[in-house]
Amino acid sequence: MRLTGAQALVRALEMEGVDVVFGLPGGAILPVYDPLLDSPIRHVLVRHEQGAGHMAEGYAQASGRPGVAIVTSGPAATNIVTAVADAAIDSVPMVVITGQVPTGAIGSDAFQEVDTTGITMSVTKHNWLVTDPADIPRVVAEAFHVATTGRPGPVLIDLPKDVSTGELEWYWPRRLDLPGYQPVTKGHPKMIEQAAALITAARRPVIYAGGGLVRAGAERELRALAERTGIPVVTTLLARGIIPDDHPLALGMPGMHGTYAAVMAMQRADLLITLGARFDDRVTGRVSAFAPEAKVIHVDVDPAELGKVRRADVPIVGDLRNVLPELLRRLPAEPADLGAWRATIAEWQQRYPLSYVPSEPGSATKPQFVVERLRALTPDDTILVAGVGQHQMWASQFWTFRAPRQWINSGGLGTMGFAVPAAVGAKAARPRQMVWAIDGDGSFQMTAQEIVTASAERIPIKVAILNNGYLGMVRQWQEMFYDERYSEVYLSPDLPDYVRWAEAMGAVGMRVDAPEEVDAAIEKANEVDDRPVVIDFRVDTFEKVYPMVPAGASNDDIVLPPHLVGDGR
Amino acid sequence: MSASSNLVPIGAIRQPVHGRHHILSVLVENKAGVLARVALLFSRRGFNIYSLAVAPTDDERFSRITMVVDVETAPLEQITKQLHKLINVLKITELDPSDAVEVESMLVTIVAEGGSRSRALELAELFRGQVLDVNAERLTLMFALAPSALDDVEALLGEFGIVEVQRSGRIALARLPKPVRRVARRGKVS
Ligand SMILES: Cc1ncc(C[n+]2csc(CCOP(=O)(O)OP(=O)(O)O)c2C)c(N)n1
């Protein structure tokens, strides 16, 4: 069967089971958009290509399947780079297809030409410049394989216009020939044996659960390990929900804005069982002072993570879904008695819980209160998406997570503007689940136009803007570390008018000025099912995220909220 | 341009810093862009690739990159792990300089007129060089030697006046196993 390269591409996407793609057409990708009309694949037309990338990420994180974005060459390719980098650092499986100028024009500064594979080389797991239509089915099959296996990540296929208009004899590769790509899945038995021995001997162990567990889909295995051994679990920003927050062994998030119990448990631990986590600087604080007495078991599918930041006493390369059951098999039936350790941790939890001072009657709504009410008033399986800033930390802290894939945010790159498009992607993947985004007023303004996409495509997401009129997280750093010298962080809560803006974009817009109005607005938003909703929550401008480990400080120097230490400030 | 303005100072040092000299032999797929991917992992951390030689192996689907890099051991370990993650990289071997045979070749054009010509030819013969090109004033010679010997030749040829020199970067293979275990000499050389 003779097909054009473009037809072969669309057919290959169908072979891979793709049901939705996010994109925006243009000159170099035009040939691909024609056969899309005849395909059962749904295309979501974005308003900016960065949005297509984050939507693909949201889709992937909610569904566990790779997200797909299709954009044209030049400015469209550069527009999507932020999302590709975001997916790379958070290990999100994603396939991006970019149009390219015809092969004969490559390198000539042709109209809308950029060196897309060159630009994205360091932010993709791999990329391909296709120069022969006959390579298309093979490259697509390879791309999906690479994106979804081993440590997942984004890949990019750059498709010159003459390659998509050229012809080929259709085929679908039966096997892939990638001699340099063989991810290790099974852990080394000897190492697993040693890990079991360390766990058995430990008296102050902590499970340091990272995003890799979510990517591996290893929540059952993790829970089995924790419950069998009675070892408490900290969940990193990317792993929130991998064990329910109301589980007795759950300590919440570690790191810069982590719970006191999670931070101190790691600091005082004699063993860190590190699972799909990577000792990010936001978790470790000053590395030389991090968990000084802890031995380290480190399990990761990516060998380059082992020993990168912290030496592992027992490094294990492998897929967590294989390694954890093997580990469990080697543990003695009777777990060690961790009573004293658990009691110490329980005392930390009791003395220094996550908390805030509720607002006085008549004063501004506390942002944490909005998060708590949202959790209370939404279904259990609601997917929560966040932007980047204070609101993201409050969302992570004050939402009670109960399952993985229900928390989607930009961890490693910290990309403001992530929330709205990622929520659209998540909702496209999981239309029956409610999807709420908690966004900052600054973050919202970066990609708000994707509300238009959501309206036009009938993807009814809900957005709670915690509007503090500031680039709040930066404002917090200037307050704490720059003598309250506020430089370029004021945004104004009223400009733009979020309600009218939302309405102009086809959404329901609401504004909440006082704590008493919070519940009614959320309930009203929950009723809306045919269009997006944006609620402008006017929140306390001066609220800060606590606890906080200042950047570069030791985790021992964790700063608690003033009301818990009672210094009267 | 006059010949003298191109003179290379005598004893130009072409050896990387002692102790940070690592030889990597990287087997890659022979595909477009692979060298860029490999080089990027070094350049993004600001590390210098000291020398580089690439050519297809006996199996034309694969190429071998031999690179000498000037990096401390710890970051190098991280880079080799990152190199392994490249889809087109099949195998990486770090060759211990004391346990490898290394060769580098050099093409050099020198000033060789009148009496100096015979002295130059004598020197070339001593180092198993070949004359590749010649005219009334100049000679182009070729050498393939251990890199340190090549440094010596280059320094010695400097006396004649080097017009142009091009070195290939080194290629290396691990030494063959020997029946008797050689005793490693440790400690400082005084
Ligand atoms: C694209 C981008 N630019 C800049 C930053 C730096 N930054 C981190 S948090 C923040 C403030 C975010 O403000 P807002 O979205 O209003 O959230 P808030 O902190 O007020 O909750 C900024 C500017 C970033 N993370 N991403």
Q: Could you report the predicted ipTM of this complex, rounded to two decimals? A: 0.89
Q: What is the per-residue DSSP string for A142-174?
A: HHHHHHHSSS--EEEEEEEHHHHHSEEE----S
Contact B146, B103 (CB under 8 A): yes
Segments in B58-189 forming alpha helices (H): 73-85, 114-126, 147-158
- CB contact under 8 Å between B85 and A304, yes or no, is yes
**pLDDT confidence of residue B186:** 53
> Residue ranges of chain A with pLDDT lower than 70?
566-569
Nearest to B87 among A118, A129, A146 (CB): A146
Judge whether residue B118 has pLDDT over 50. yes
**pLDDT confidence of residue B185:** 52
**pLDDT confidence of residue B19:** 61
B32: nearest CA in chain A?
A129
- CB contact under 8 Å between A308 and B32, yes or no, is no
**pLDDT confidence of residue A569:** 38
CA distance A506 to A439: 18
Helix axis angle, B34-43 to B73-85, nearest 10°: 150
Domains and CATH numbers, chain A: 2-169 (3.40.50.970), 189-351 (3.40.50.1220), 367-538 (3.40.50.970)
Nearest-5° angle of CA A266, CA A269, CA A273?
75
> Nearest CA of chain A to the CA of B31: how many Å?
11
CA of residue A442 to ligand 1 center, whole Å: 6
Q: What is the per-residue DSSP string for A285-316?
A: SSGGGSSTT-EEEEEES-GGGTTTSS--SEEE
Nearest to A179 among B82, B86, B90 (CB): B90
- CB contact under 8 Å between A304 and B87, yes or no, is no
Nearest to B36 among A121, A125, A126 (CB): A121
> Nearest CA of chain B to the CA of A384: how many Å?
32
- CB contact under 8 Å between A180 and B85, yes or no, is no
A219 pocket-lining for ligand 1 (C-beta < 6 Å): no
Residues 6+ apart with CB under 8 A from A119: A77, A78, A81
- Considering chain B, tell me which residue range(s) the CATH 3.30.70.260 domain(s) occupy: 21-95
CA of residue A478 to ligand 1 center, whole Å: 13
CA of residue A520 to ligand 1 center, whole Å: 28
Judge whether residue B16 has pLDDT over 60. yes
- The DSSP 8-state label assigned to residue A123 in this structure reads G
**pLDDT confidence of residue A23:** 98
| Alpha-carbon dihedral A238, A439, A551, A414, rounded to 10 degrees | 60
Judge whether residue B1 has pLDDT over 80. no
Residue A498 tokens read as: 């979020």
Substitution target in B81, B83, B89 with the highest count of A β-carbons within 10 Å is B81
> Nearest CA of chain A to the CA of B55: how many Å?
18
**pLDDT confidence of residue A228:** 96
- CB contact under 8 Å between A125 and B37, yes or no, is no
Catalytic residues of A: 49, 111-112, 161, 473
CA distance A373 to A370: 5
Q: Whose CA is nearest to atom 11 of ligand 1?
A: A471
The topology (CATH level 3) of B21-95 is Alpha-Beta Plaits (3.30.70)
CA distance A322 to A119: 36
Residue A511 bridge partners (DSSP): A536
A83 pocket-lining for ligand 1 (C-beta < 6 Å): no
Residue pointed to by tokens 């070892």? A231
Q: pLDDT grade, residue B189 (50/70/90)?
A: very low
CATH class of domain segment(s) B101-174? alpha beta
- CB contact under 8 Å between A125 and B84, yes or no, is no
Ligand 1 pocket test, pick from A443, A487, A548 with the greatest ligand atom count within 8 Å of Cβ, gives A443
A391 pocket-lining for ligand 1 (C-beta < 6 Å): yes
Chain A residues with at least one Cβ partner in B under 8 Å: 117-118, 121-122, 125-126, 129, 146, 178-181, 302-304, 307-308
**pLDDT confidence of residue B115:** 87
CA distance A349 to A352: 5
CA of residue A418 to ligand 1 center, whole Å: 11
Q: pLDDT grade, residue B13 (50/70/90)?
A: low
Residue A160 bridge partners (DSSP): A100
**pLDDT confidence of residue B2:** 42
- Considering chain B, tell me which residue range(s) the CATH 3.30.70.1150 domain(s) occupy: 101-174
Cα A342 to Cα A206, A219, A229, A254, B18: the distances in Å are 10, 22, 12, 17, 52
Judge whether residue B14 has pLDDT over 80. no
Contact A208, A254 (CB under 8 A): yes
Residues 6+ apart with CB under 8 A from A286: A552, A553, A554, A555
**Contacts B28 to A, Cβ<8 Å:** 180
- CB contact under 8 Å between A303 and B86, yes or no, is no
CA distance B169 to B146: 11
**pLDDT confidence of residue A568:** 39
CB atoms within 10 A of CB A313: 15
- The DSSP 8-state label assigned to residue A204 in this structure reads S
Substitution target in A181, A278, A311 with the highest count of B β-carbons within 10 Å is A181
Mind listing the pLDDT tens digit for each residue in B42-101? 988 888 888 899 999 999 999 999 999 888 877 888 889 999 999 999 999 999 888 889
Instruction: Please identify, by atom number, the ligand 1 atom nearest to the C-alpha of residue A392.
Output: 21
B90: nearest CA in chain A?
A180
A543 pocket-lining for ligand 1 (C-beta < 6 Å): no
Q: How many residues does chain B have?
A: 190
Q: Whose CA is nearest to atom 17 of ligand 1?
A: A440
**pLDDT confidence of residue A97:** 98
- CB contact under 8 Å between A180 and B77, yes or no, is no
CA of residue A414 to ligand 1 center, whole Å: 8
Q: Whose CA is nearest to atom 8 of ligand 1?
A: A389
CA distance B43 to B39: 6
Q: pLDDT grade, residue B114 (50/70/90)?
A: confident
Instruction: Please identify, by atom number, the ligand 1 atom nearest to the C-alpha of residue A388.
Output: 9
> Nearest CA of chain B to the CA of A465: how many Å?
37
CA of residue A351 to ligand 1 center, whole Å: 31
